[in-house]
Copies of this chain bind each other. A is one copy, B any other.
Amino acid sequence: MSAGGGLARTPAPPYFAVIFTSKRAADDGRAYGVVAQRMVDLGSRYDGFLGIESARGDDGLGITVSYWRDEASLLAWKRDTEHEKAQRGGREAWYDAYEVRVAKVERAYGFARDAAG
């Protein structure tokens, strides 16, 4: 469930982050993986999408953070018909629990090792 599998290249703040933390339920995982990747592909085509980062550990806890230009764009994606169907699937089968937090990114800083170093 990643779009490239690395750090998102976001612009200078302010912008919005949707922090989606989830605990997977016991499941065969095949349908989940297909739908999760489809949601990344579909969401990233929405106007205002800035990037996505995703990680899931061996304990089943996953964190996906998607970044958005403004609230209107993240709300449009939330209400996407296919995304709403996936959200129902999440509640009915794939997750034991999840939390969604909508946050405004106020500042950001980072580090990247010199490739020549």
Q: Which residues of A contact B (CB under 8 A)?
A: 2, 5-8, 10, 13, 17, 19, 21, 23, 25, 53-57, 59, 61-63, 65, 90-91, 95-113
Interface of A, helix, strand, loop or mixed by DSSP? strand
**Count of chain copies:** 2
- Which residue from chain B places its CB closest to the CB of A95 in the assembled complex? B111
Question: A61 and B56 in contact (CB under 8 A), knowing A19-B17, A99-B7?
Answer: no
B residues within 8 A CB of A55? 55-57, 61-63
In the complex, 6 of the A-B residue pairs with CB atoms within 8 angstroms, ordered by the A residue number, are: A5-B61, A7-B97, A17-B101, A98-B110, A103-B103, A104-B104
B residues within 8 A CB of A7? 21, 23, 61, 97-99
